[in-house]
Structure 1
Amino acid sequence: MADAPVKGPSSYFPSIEKKYGRSIAEWQALVRQNLPGKHMDLVSMLKTDHGMGHGHANALVAHTLATAKN
């Protein structure tokens, strides 16, 4: 049986790593350094300071904040 496709924010991770040249762990550490912060403020930081596209930034922040709550 084939593996199920990755869904949700983490489905963006391979393209984020390829396009922006950092591992997801590095990006998540950067987001965590800016906590506490509102979701959209963190997205804006990634877009403005690191040139990340909105969809990639939003997925990264959403996943990072969701895992921080666990």
Structure 2
Amino acid sequence: MADEPINGPASYFPSIEKKYGRPIAEWQELVRKHLPAKHMELVAMLKKDHGMGHGHANALVAHTLAAHKG
């Protein structure tokens, strides 16, 4: 199972770390600090304040919120 490709929002994580120079855990903590903001508010914050592209920001927020809801 370890050889299966990563699907969904997490498939963006390697490129997010490479492009923006911070580990995913730091980005997720940043998103959690802004809760209870709505999904698109969090996406807009990442884009405006950190220069993140829409797809990367959306994937990061979606994955973080899904994990947060448990």
1:16 and 1:67 mapped to 2: Cα distance?
Answer: 18
**Structure 1-normalised TM-score?**
0.97
**Structure 2-normalised TM-score?**
0.97
Structure 2 residue 32 is the aligned partner of structure 1 residue 35? no
Question: After TM superposition, where is structure 1 displaced by more than 6 Å over at least 4 residues in a row?
Answer: none
* Amino acid in structure 1 at the alignment position of 2:60: L
SS at match of 2:5: coil
What is the Cα deviation at residue 4 of structure 1? 1.0
What is the Cα deviation at residue 39 of structure 1? 0.2
Extract unaligned runs of 5+ from structure 1.
none
- Residue in structure 2 matched with residue 9 of structure 1 by the alignment: 9
Closer, same or farther: CA 32–2 of 1 in aligned 2, 3 Å: closer
SS at match of 1:46: helix
Give the total of aligned pairs: 70
SS at match of 1:18: helix
Extract unaligned runs of 5+ from structure 2.
none
- Correspondences of 1:1-70 after superposition (within 5 Å): 3-70=3-70
* Amino acid in structure 2 at the alignment position of 1:65: L
